[in-house]
């Protein structure tokens, strides 16, 4: 007899699973329940329809109910909410939100892909805030767009400096709305480390966003028209966009007694099976293992949801397929910048007590002599033992996605930093340099591990300055004049061999703009009996972070 | 005592080696000889200065003689040609081209990076052709640019449809010159396979280039103002750009008795050592092993030259480092298109007698609903035994470089097609889709090897049509009307389950636009007792290739 599979949630994870289930088996009875009016829509596109980059609303509907029915012969029940699941009797209770009718439906296998919902903490005055929005689905989007279209707000407060917060800041600015961004931690974009996020913050400010860090919302007054921060600051505004993160939609699972992780994600094994044998769960709702270290994490992104949907369908159809964990590759466009990351960041490594090394490089997105080249700030974290790549982050105007994708691939291929110089990447002037930025990061990292250079990180400089260590700026005088580390003395690299006598101490800190000249200077000095230490990432990384 | 290293050639390979030699060792005496006036220039940028995209000539000079001297303390002797090498006495003979003075210089180690020179066959009338140019270095560029600037040619014949030929065609068109491209083989861009190159040809024609394939030059008449083709066609023109390939600069090596490969490249071992123990050679002048199969090849590109320069310096300084072969990753911008490839192509696999499978997909460069998305034609070749990736090619307006780089990295990480769906690549709407094109190629390839679909290639269709096999076009009627395979009957995928009865034979060829719907149709049909065969890459690949 044909199997009966019920799916809860009809968007990224759910619809992907349904499609693959049908491709694997024509006979299976597949019922897909969706609480909302739309299935298979592009959550990730929502900010851009508000901002106007996407002009046709229907483009966000990747599959319509009828299209999906015709192509995949799936029983799709929209506007129908699953109220409860009974993993013992293997049935669910559904309510048709139009008719109000409630009914039970039995299943052989149940798949949960209910997603996550925006966190909305019980801040004082939040319920009365009429102008406060969160963004998760098409109706949310419609409401925000209608408000912006009809009320032409002059000012908005975006609360939360994550991907969605920043995307909304940009899209509101594109609509002519002044934006104040409020972020509780000391940086935007949590997946990046501080100095990398600093470059994004600088850009936000350039684009007219007022960025407030280290401050949270303590209350809303005046129906949300006044946002009161923990610091006491009051901001008058026309609208509030709350984007401080999402929490897994775990109510059904919880009430059915399924195991839930510490941070609320449904616990699943490598086959995406919950603690109830015939119940599977995927997407934003689940807790997964981090690809790098197996730690339980929640990484609410579309790739994992789609991948898990594909995999779980195979498993349900009898071909057990393991999910190998989430690497957390993430990216966002922030005005003219792209910020992306993969693997673990420095904060995570420190927290996990992992010993690591860091390298920062600032290579050009493509050949400097070809128009449109821009520096990419690229940071890589790796093991001092075997050169294993732990993670990478990049910020720049162009070519950031490519380098992070190459590094994400390198990680999955178990390549180490020693392999990166050997990556033969495509080169012509409009696309890269003969040594690609990833090659360059590899070279620089290998030099650190092979002892060709000793480096110091931007956050360690404070101590050096305080200690009055000797610091040499090896850039050209014009560069030095434009800004330098206060206690640094200028000896340009091109004169270093002749002016080495001016250096007083064996131990000397060297820096240049991006790290390259400092490295060359180090090579010269170390062979002349000095103990040079090169500022990793140069003045560029340092000044972005400390200023 | 300090070692004395002599380098012949001061550009990509030579200058890279010199720089690294110095970083490794301050004491080594390094003499770099360069026949021309410039060292360390950007060969790859030359076409774009002629075309006007690069406006400052000095930008092409990556390092000046004085800059390189100051930074790296290298004895640089420009306008000095090495006339002979004596590997037994370990000395070279140099001639200062300004003074005419000839002198000997001894070495401990000699490094040859003399590059390659444009092939200029003894075609009748070639010597008398005053308007005939080749492009290799700055003086060549200056001459061509001066001719275009001063003489405003109306028409040019570009001979050779390789990377440089196409780049020059584009840059001449940018300067308002009408271009006829003459290519002897049946396609442009040899590294691509026929159907992939066909897309490039289509684009060239759209951009106003007159493309003549399967025809060569038999003679030049009228001081080069008439180009006579093998077919008898005569083309009247104002200028001729000859770009039919390069040949290794092997004269020095040959005369010194060093081993030379069949196609003229200097033979080196994995340490880039020639048959004379203290003589090393790198760059365009050498024959290398192909990374995929170890076959001897000549791949005159900048990445290998730079990489080999770095590696050979380490080996010379006592840290033996092997060059792992060249994968042949290559890319070119052709007007609005990018064409790129890595690894082996189908022609090479066939020639080598390797059994392989092919997949073509046409995914969107980024989310279709976000502005600027364009289909990428992506072809992948892989082993039917273990899914090993042999090579990949891509053509499209955007995101081609990224996908080829990811695949080049996957190859170097020994990932197979089975690993590609698991690549967690960065996704936000401006950059990709939740399933990246590389994931998609992986999924489609796995489906072939796992027997989820049987496919047929575009070049096998002719036979099917002749055999009067049943062919079903599963696209929508509007698509069918716009063009279809003559003998094909239209049954849209959305109606297939209901209209299956109209299909007469078990064996039936299915196709759609890109391959996806044909695959879904195959899945439906195979489970209903048919033996469907899906046209790989769909009507898109097919019609590009056969029309
Ligand atoms: C504004 C925005 C921008 C984003 N941008 C990106 C991006 O750029 N890149 C990226 O990787 N990810 C992005 N994401 C995240 C991505 O959309 C999610 O990770 C992905 O959609 C998760 O898939 P899912 O199937 O788990 O949940 P969803 O796609 O949210 O689907 C869950 C569905 O289940 C339904 N549901 C829940 N409970 C029930 C119930 N009891 N009964 C019936 N139906 C129910 C919900 O109505 C919902 O439609 C973005 C998300 C948002 C909101
Ligand atoms: C127009 C053009 C576009 C290109 N575009 C690309 C591209 O987009 N991507 C890519 O990867 N590659 C490209 N290349 C190829 C790339 O430039 C070469 O692969 C690379 O420069 C090879 O480095 P090399 O050191 O072997 O030779 P070269 O860089 O050519 O250097 C060799 C030098 O040796 C000198 N020399 C030779 N013999 C002697 C002698 N006897 N005495 C003294 N000096 C001598 C020559 O004068 C020459 O300057 C392009 C090349 C050209 C010409
Ligand atoms: C639209 C949706 C239902 C599609 O699911 P899907 O059918 O699995 O995905 P696609 O349309 O991308 O097709 C992928 C399938 O086609 C195959 N395929 C793709 N291109 C192909 C080609 N050219 N030839 C042959 N097969 C091809 C793949 O192998 C894969 O099939 P498989 O899983 O059986 O191996 C689902 O992705 C969805 O709802 N997306 C929107 C929601 C969302 O993801 N939101 C978050 C991001 S904004
Ligand atoms: C200009 C040229 C001499 C430079 O050679 P180079 O010094 O080896 O190369 P780069 O300037 O890219 O620097 C690379 C070095 O800097 C290091 N580096 C780069 N960025 C760094 C950073 N931020 N911090 C520390 N080190 C860094 C690398 O590790 C590498 O050093 P290593 O080889 O000792 O490991 C040579 O590449 C050349 O002549 N190029 C032009 C010609 C050419 O390539 N033509 C063909 C293409 S158009």
User: What is the SS3 assignment for A454-507?
Assistant: CEECHHHHHHHHHCCCCEEECCCHHHHHCCCCCCCEECCHHHHHHHHHHCCCCE
Residue A94 CB less than 6 A away from ligand 1: no
Q: What is the pLDDT of residues B72-110, one digit of tens each?
A: 999 999 999 999 999 999 999 999 999 999 999 999 999
- pTM (whole model) above 0.95: yes
Do A429 and A370 meet the contact criterion of CB atoms below 8 Å apart? yes
- Ligand 4 neighbour A440 (Cβ under 6 A): yes
What is the distance between the alpha carbons of residues B390 and B402, in angstroms, rounded to a whole number?
18
pLDDT at A307 over 70: yes
Handedness of CA A525, A527, A528, A529 (dihedral sign): positive
Annotated active-site residue in B4, B29, B37, B44: B44
* Pocket of ligand 2 contains residue B92 by CB under 6 Å: no
Give the per-residue pLDDT at A214. 98
ipTM, two decimals: 0.98
- How far is residue B498's CA from residue A400's CA, in Å, rounded to a whole number? 48
Measured in Å, residue B40 CA sits from the centre of ligand 2 at 9
Three-state DSSP class for residue A204: helix
Tokens of B322: 């092997």
Answer for the pair B143, B130: CB distance below 8 angstroms, yes or no.
no
Q: For A168, list phi and psi in degrees, rounded to 5.
A: -70, -40
Enumerate the active-site residues of A: 44
Among B217, B302, B299, which residue's Cα sits nearest to residue B46? B302
* Contact status of B23 with chain A (Cβ, < 8 Å): yes
Q: Are strands B330-334 and B337-343 parallel, antiparallel or unpaired?
A: antiparallel
Q: Do B494 and A327 touch (CB under 8 A)?
A: no
Note whether B67 contacts A413, CB cutoff 8 Å.
Answer: no
Cα B16 to ligand 4 centroid, rounded to whole Å: 7
In a mutational test of the B interface, the residue from A409, A451, A524 whose CB has the highest number of chain B CBs within 10 Å is A409
Give the number of the ligand closest to the Cα of residue A171. 1
- Neighbouring C-beta atoms of residue A340, cutoff 10 Å: 31
**A426:B401 CB<8 A:** yes
Best of A38, A305, A405 to disrupt the B interface (most B CBs within 10 Å) is A405
Ligand 4 pocket mutation, candidates B7, B11, B14, B15, criterion most atoms within 8 A of CB: B15
Determine the Cα–Cα distance for residues B260 and B253; give it in Å rounded to an integer. Answer: 8
Q: What is the pLDDT of residue A252?
A: 98
At A155-202, the pLDDT tens digits run: 999 999 999 999 999 999 999 999 999 999 999 999 999 999 999 999
Beta carbon of A46 within 6 Å of any ligand 1 atom: yes
* Ligand 1, pocket-test mutation among A44, A258, A328, A405, most atoms within 8 A of CB: A44
Sheet of strand A337-343, all strands in order from the earlier edge strand to the far edge: A330-334, A337-343, A389-396, A376-382, A357-361
| Residue-level pLDDT at B1 | 67
Rounded average pLDDT over B476-502: 97
Distance from CA of B232 to the nearest CA of A (A): 36
Residue B64 confidence (pLDDT):
96
Interface residue B429 vs chain A (CB under 8 A) = yes
What does the pLDDT look like over B503-520, one tens digit per residue? 999 999 999 999 999 999
Q: Is the CB of A434 under 6 A from ligand 4?
A: yes
Q: How many CB atoms lie within 10 A of CB A373?
A: 20
Rounded Cα distance between A290 and A284, Å, is: 14
Helix or strand (DSSP H, E) at B465: helix B461-466
Task: Give the C-alpha separation, A444 to A514, whole Å.
Answer: 12
Sheet holding B210-212, edge to edge: B132-133, B239-242, B155-159, B178-182, B210-212
**In whole angstroms, what is the distance from residue A53 CA to residue A171 CA?**
8
Chain A, 304-333: which have a CB under 8 Å from a chain B CB? 304-307, 310, 324, 326-333
Query: Model confidence over A344-403: pLDDT tens digits?
Result: 999 999 999 999 999 999 999 999 999 999 999 999 999 999 999 999 999 999 999 999
Size of interface A-B (CB pairs under 8 A): 244
Cβ of B42 less than 6 Å from ligand 4: yes
* Chain A hits for B406, Cβ within 8 Å: 405-406, 409
Task: Report chain B residues whose CB lies below 8 A from the CB of A56.
Answer: 369
Q: How far is it, in rounded angstroms, from Cα B59 to Cα B45?
A: 9
Rounded to an integer, what distance in angstroms lies between the CA atom of residue B210 and that of residue B242? 16
Residue with tokens 């698991």: B422
3-class SS shares of chain A: helix, strand, coil, % to 5: 35, 25, 40
Say how far apart CA B546 and CA B100 lie, in whole Å: 58
Closest CA to B162 of B336, B330, B379: B330
Chain B residues 235-264 with CB within 8 Å of chain A: none
Distance (Å) of CA B237 to CA A40, B140, B217, B540: 57, 20, 13, 36
Residue in B369, B426, B452 nearest the CB of A329? B426
Question: Phi, psi at residue A74, to the nearest 5°?
Answer: -115, 140
List of chain A residues whose C-beta atoms are within 8 Å of the C-beta of residue B59: 368-369
- Residue A253 gets the label, from left (phi > 0), alpha (psi -120 to 50) or beta, of alpha
Cβ–Cβ gap B53/A370 under 8 Å: yes
Cβ-defined contact of A48 to B429 (cutoff 8 Å): yes
B97 lies within 8 A of chain A by CB: no
- State the Cα–Cα distance between residues B177 and A525, nearest whole angstrom: 54
pLDDT band, very low/low/confident/very high, at B547 (cuts 50, 70, 90): confident
Backbone angles phi, psi at B83, to 5 degrees: -95, -35
Beta bridge partners of A281: A112
Contact A443 B307 (CB under 8 A): no
What's chain B's average pLDDT? 98
Whether pLDDT at A1 is above 80: no
- Proportion of chain B in helix, strand, coil states, percent, rounded to 5: 35, 25, 40
Are B120 and B130 within 8 A, CB to CB? no
Q: How many angstroms separate the CA of residue A467 from the nearest CA in chain B?
A: 30
Place of tokens 């997603």: A115
What lies within 8 Å, CB to CB, of A515 at 6+ separation is: A360, A361, A362, A444, A534, A535, A536, A537, A538, A541
Which one of the ligands is nearest to B64 CA? 4
The predicted model gives A39-63 an average pLDDT of 97
Length of chain B: 547
Question: What is the Cβ-side half-sphere exposure of residue A178, based on CA atoms within 13 angstroms?
Answer: 7
**Whole-angstrom distance, CA of residue A313 vs CA of residue A361:** 42
Chain A positions touching B424 (Cβ under 8 A) are 291, 303-304, 307, 326-329, 342, 408, 412
Distance (Å, whole) CA B264 – CA A255: 75
Q: And the tokens for B408? A: 């080049």
Which pLDDT value is given to residue A2?
A: 87
- Cβ pair A402:B404 closer than 8 A: no
Residues A421, A445: Cα–Cα separation, whole Å: 10
Ligand 3 centre to CA of A16 (Å) is 7
CB atoms closer than 10 angstroms to residue A89: 10
Q: Which two tokens stand for residue A432?
A: 């890269």
Kindly list the residues from chain B whose CB atom is less than 8 angstroms away from the CB atom of residue A452: 23
Ligand 2 centre and the CA of B340: distance in Å?
A: 20
**Contact (CB, 8 A) for A270 and A322:** yes
Instruction: State how far the Cα of A31 lies from the Cα of A72, in Å rounded to an integer.
Output: 11
Residues of B in contact with A324 (CB under 8 A): 422
* Euclidean distance between CA atoms A409 and B260, whole angstroms: 38
Contact predicate A404/A392, CB 8 Å: yes
Name residues whose C-beta falls within 8 Å of residue A457's C-beta, 6 or more positions apart in sequence: A358, A536
Q: How far is CA A444 from CA A191, A208, A356, A360, A469, in A?
A: 23, 35, 15, 8, 24
Judge whether residue B2 has pLDDT over 90: no
d(C-alpha A322, C-alpha A320), whole Å = 7
Provide the Cα torsion B283, B286, B289, B290; round to 10°.
60
Report the SS3 class of residue A102: strand
User: Residue A326: what pLDDT?
Assistant: 98
Q: In chain B, positions 432-491, which contact chain A (CB-CB < 8 Å)?
A: 432, 434-436, 439, 443, 452
Q: Which of A368, A434, A495 sits opposite B303 (nearest CB)?
A: A434
A466 Cβ partners below 8 Å, 6+ apart?
none
- Ligand 1 geometric centre to CA of A114 (Å): 7
Cα A220 off chain centre by: 29
Angle, helices A163-174/A194-206, rounded to nearest 10 degrees: 10
Tell me, in angstroms, the distance from the centre of ligand 2 to residue B115's CA: 5
Write the pLDDT tens digit of every residue in A226-252.
999 999 999 999 999 999 999 999 999
CA-closest residue to ligand 1 atom 30: A115
- Using only the alpha carbons of chain A, give its radius of gyration: 26
Pairing of strands B489-490, B455-456: unpaired
Cβ <8 Å between A408 and B423 = yes
Q: Inform me whether the pLDDT recorded for B6 exceeds 70.
A: yes
Residues of chain B neighbouring A370 (CB-CB closer than 8 A)? 45, 48, 53-54
Cα(B361) to centroid(ligand 3), Å: 12
pLDDT computed for residue A168 by the predictor: 98
State the nearest Cα–Cα gap between B73 and chain A, in angstroms: 9
The answer on pLDDT for B409 being more than 80 is yes
SS (HEC) of B371-388: CCCCEEEEEEEECCCCCE
Query: Is the CB–ligand 4 distance for residue B393 below 6 Å?
Result: no
| Structure token pair of residue A370 | 């070809």
């Amino acid at each position: 007899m044909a199997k009966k599979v019920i799916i809860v949630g009809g968007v990224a994870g759910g619809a992907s699973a349904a499609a693959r289930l049908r491709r694997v088996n024509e006979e299976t009875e597949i019922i897909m329940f969706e609480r909302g009016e739309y299935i298979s829509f592009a959550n990730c596109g929502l900010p851009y329809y508000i901002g106007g980059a996407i002009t046709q609303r229907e483009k966000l509907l990747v599959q319509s109910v009828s299209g999906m029915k015709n192509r995949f012969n799936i029983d799709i029940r929209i506007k129908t909410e699953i109220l409860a699941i009974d993993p013992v009797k293997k049935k669910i209770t559904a309510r048709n939100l139009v008719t109000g009718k409630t009914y039970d439906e039995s299943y052989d296998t149940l798949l949960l892909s209910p997603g996550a919902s925006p966190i909305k903490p019980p801040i004082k005055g939040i319920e009365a805030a009429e102008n406060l929005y969160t963004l998760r689905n098409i109706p949310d989007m419609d409401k925000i767009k209608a408000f912006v279209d009809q009320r032409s707000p002059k000012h908005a407060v975006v609360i939360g400096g994550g991907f969605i917060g920043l995307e909304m800041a940009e899209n509101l600015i594109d609509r002519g709305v002044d934006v104040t961004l409020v972020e509780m931690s000391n940086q935007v974009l949590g997946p990046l480390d501080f100095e990398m996020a600093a470059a994004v913050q600088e850009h936000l400010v350039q684009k007219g966003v007022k960025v407030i860090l280290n401050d949270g919302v303590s209350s809303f007054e005046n129906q949300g028209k006044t946002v009161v921060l923990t610091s006491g600051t009051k901001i008058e505004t026309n609208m509030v966009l709350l984007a401080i993160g999402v929490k897994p939609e775990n109510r059904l699972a919880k009430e059915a007694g399924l195991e839930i992780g510490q941070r609320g994600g449904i616990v699943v094994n490598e086959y995406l099976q919950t603690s109830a044998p015939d119940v599977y769960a995927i997407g934003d709702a689940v807790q997964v293992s981090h690809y790098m270290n197996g730690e339980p994490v929640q990484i609410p992104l579309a790739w994992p949801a789609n991948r898990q949907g594909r995999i779980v369908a195979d498993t349900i159809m009898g071909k057990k397929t393991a999910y190998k964990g989430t690497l957390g590759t993430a990216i966002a466009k922030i005005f003219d910048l792209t910020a992306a990351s993969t693997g673990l960041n420095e904060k995570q490594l420190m927290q996990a007590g992992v010993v690591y090394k860091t390298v920062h490089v600032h290579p050009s997105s493509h050949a400097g002599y070809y128009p449109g080249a821009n520096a990419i700030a690229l940071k890589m974290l790796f093991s001092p033992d075997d050169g294993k790549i732990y993670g990478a982050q990049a910020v720049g105007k162009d070519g950031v996605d490519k380098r992070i994708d190459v590094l994400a691939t390198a990680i999955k291929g178990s390549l180490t930093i020693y392999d990166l110089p050997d990556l033969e990447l495509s080169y012509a002037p409009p696309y890269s340099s003969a040594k690609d930025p990833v090659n360059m990061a590899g070279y620089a990292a290998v030099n650190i591990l092979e002892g060709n250079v000793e480096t110091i990180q931007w956050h360690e400089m404070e101590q050096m300055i305080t200690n009055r260590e000797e610091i040499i700026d090896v850039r050209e005088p014009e560069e030095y004049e434009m800004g330098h580390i206060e206690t640094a003395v200028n000896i340009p690299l091109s004169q270093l061999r002749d002016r080495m006598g001016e250096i007083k101490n064996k131990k000397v800190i060297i820096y240049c703009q991006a790290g390259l000249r400092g490295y060359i200077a180090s090579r010269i000095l170390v062979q002349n009996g000095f103990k040079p230490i090169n500022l990793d990432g140069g003045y560029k990384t340092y000044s972005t972070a400390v200023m």
